[in-house]
């Protein structure tokens, strides 16, 4: 009984498991991999691989054509940048004025940490040693009222 | 907090606001409609070059277009017809192809039988110099090299931006000037 059950289970597992094949990237996969790193210059913030406009379809065809001509991925990206400007890249190249885009977030983070550190330190110092109040500097009516309330309490 | 850190933060915030305002201002500036036309050199799909500043003494029509732009198709045939009508009267038409696939752009030119000078705007430099905001846009340059108005949108019989009749009148005005 148990032997039969095991045989049936093994048969079921064998039938439902698909064989594993070695994956080789097709031309479309290569096109999509490059298109994913380029952005549509017409509709901002939309990568070329998911953009549905005619312009993006044309550019995907261009990528395919260039791949068939034997151009490398880097050569294709360089072609797009030269022809349509740096907007087609997901991020600006780290050169010249563009450095600001990379430096400002780091600078902001450092300044944020510095400000937080000084704020926490000031807060802790303030909490640890409350400023003593000199009764002589307080208005007389406040002192009298305070003493009266303390007595009643 | 030390005084110098407060100063650094203040300066950085002011700098960022100035940068942001500058960017907004540059983006918000309208298309060029008057004054000296920005000079440029355009290489045609066939490899010939044309330089705007070398066309002094002629009326120049600069049309920004793209093959994926539907409204551009509405004016394409008319522009070619107008070019044929005026080419012997000292009018030069320049088609500036904006962010387009070369294959599609060539197919478009063939489809509409366009014969006037056309070339791709590499890096969208000419587009930016004219502060164009889209396609189609057409700019009119007088014989003196100044911009005399523009048409933002397609030029058709019933267009709200510029009708075909107004376009032809504009050319006559510029030729008479």
By mean pLDDT, which of A70-74, A148-152, B136-140 is the weakest? A148-152
Q: Which CATH number does A24-88 carry? A: 1.10.8.640
Average of per-residue pLDDT across A43-47: 85
Give the tens place of pLDDT for each residue, B35-70.
999 999 999 999 999 999 999 999 999 999 999 999
Rounded distance, CA A26 to CA A33, Å? 11
Q: Which residues of A touch B19 (CB under 8 A)?
A: 100
Entry pTM: 0.74
For residues A59 and A38, the answer to whether their CB atoms sit within 8 Å is yes
Provide the residue ranges of all domains of chain A, joining segments of one domain with +.
Answer: 24-88, 93-127
Task: Out of 3.30.1540.20, 3.40.30.10, 3.40.50.11540, 3.40.50.2020, select the CATH number for domain B31-176.
Answer: 3.40.30.10
DSSP-derived letter for residue B68 is: T
By mean pLDDT, which of A132-136, A147-151, B15-19, B127-131 is the weakest? A132-136
Nearest CB to B101: which of A62, A85, A100? Answer: A62
Three-state SS across chain A?
A: CHHHHHHHHHHHHHHHCCCCCCCCCCHHHHHHHHHCCEECCCCCCCECCCCCCHHHHHHHHHHHHHHHCCCCHHHHHHHHHHHHCHHHECCCCCCHHHHHHHHHHHHHHHHHHHHHHHHHHHHHHHHHCCCCCCHHHCCHHHHHHHHHHHHHC
Provide the residue ranges of all domains of chain B, joining segments of one domain with +.
Answer: 1-29, 31-176
Closest chain A residue by Cα to residue B133 = A42
Q: Is B55 exposed, middle or buried (0-12, 13-18, 19+ CB in 10 A)?
A: middle
Mutate which of B98, B99, B128 to disrupt the A interface (most A C-beta within 10 Å)? B99
Helix (H) or strand (E) holding B63: strand B59-65
Nearest CB to B68: which of A55, A61, A83? Answer: A55
pLDDT class for A22, splitting at 50, 70, 90?
low
DSSP-derived letter for residue B112 is: T
Closest chain B residue by Cα to residue A116 = B1
Of B137, B148, B138, whose CA–CA distance to B176 is shortest? B148
Give the tens place of pLDDT for each residue, B1-32.
778 878 888 888 888 888 888 877 777 789 99
Token digits for B66?
Answer: 């793209």
Cα A123 from chain centroid (whole Å): 32
What's the pLDDT at A146? 86
Nearest CB to A61: which of B8, B12, B101? Answer: B101
Give the tens place of pLDDT for each residue, B147-173.
999 999 999 999 999 999 999 999 999
Cα B168 from chain centroid (whole Å): 18
Rounded distance, CA B175 to CA B86, Å? 10
């Amino acid at each position: 009984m148990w032997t039969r059950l095991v045989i049936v289970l093994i048969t079921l597992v064998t039938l439902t498991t698909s064989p594993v094949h070695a994956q080789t990237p097709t031309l479309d996969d290569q096109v999509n991999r490059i298109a994913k790193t380029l952005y549509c210059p017409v509709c901002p913030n939309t990568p070329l691989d998911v953009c549905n406009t005619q312009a993006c379809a044309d550019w995907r065809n261009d990528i395919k054509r260039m791949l068939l001509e034997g151009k490398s991925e880097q050569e294709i990206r360089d072609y797009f940048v030269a022809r349509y400007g740096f907007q087609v890249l997901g991020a600006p190249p780290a050169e010249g004025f563009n450095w600001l885009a990379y430096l400002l977030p780091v600078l902001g983070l450092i300044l944020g940490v510095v400000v937080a550190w000084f704020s926490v330190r000031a807060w802790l110092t303030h909490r640890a040693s409350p400023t003593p109040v000199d009764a002589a500097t307080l208005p007389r009516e406040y002192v009298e009222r305070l003493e009266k309330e303390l007595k009643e309490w | 907090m030390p005084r110098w850190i407060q100063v650094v933060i203040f300066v950085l915030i002011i700098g960022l606001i100035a940068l942001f305002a500058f960017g907004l201002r540059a983006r918000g500036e309208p298309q060029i409609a008057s004054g000296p036309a920005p000079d440029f050199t355009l290489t045609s799909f066939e490899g010939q070059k044309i330089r705007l500043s070398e066309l002094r003494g002629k009326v120049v029509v600069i049309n920004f277009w793209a093959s994926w732009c539907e409204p551009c198709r509405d004016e394409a045939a008319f522009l070619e017809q107008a070019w044929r009508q005026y080419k012997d009267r000292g009018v030069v038409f320049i088609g500036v192809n904006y962010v387009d696939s070369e294959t599609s752009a060539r197919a478009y030119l063939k489809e509409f039988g366009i014969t006037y000078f056309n070339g791709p705007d590499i890096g969208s430099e000419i587009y930016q110099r004219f502060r164009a905001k889209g396609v189609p846009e057409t700019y009119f340059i007088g014989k003196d090299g100044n911009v005399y108005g523009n048409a933002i949108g397609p030029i058709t019989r019933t267009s709200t931006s510029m009708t075909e009749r107004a376009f032809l009148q504009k050319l006559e005005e510029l030729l008479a000037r």
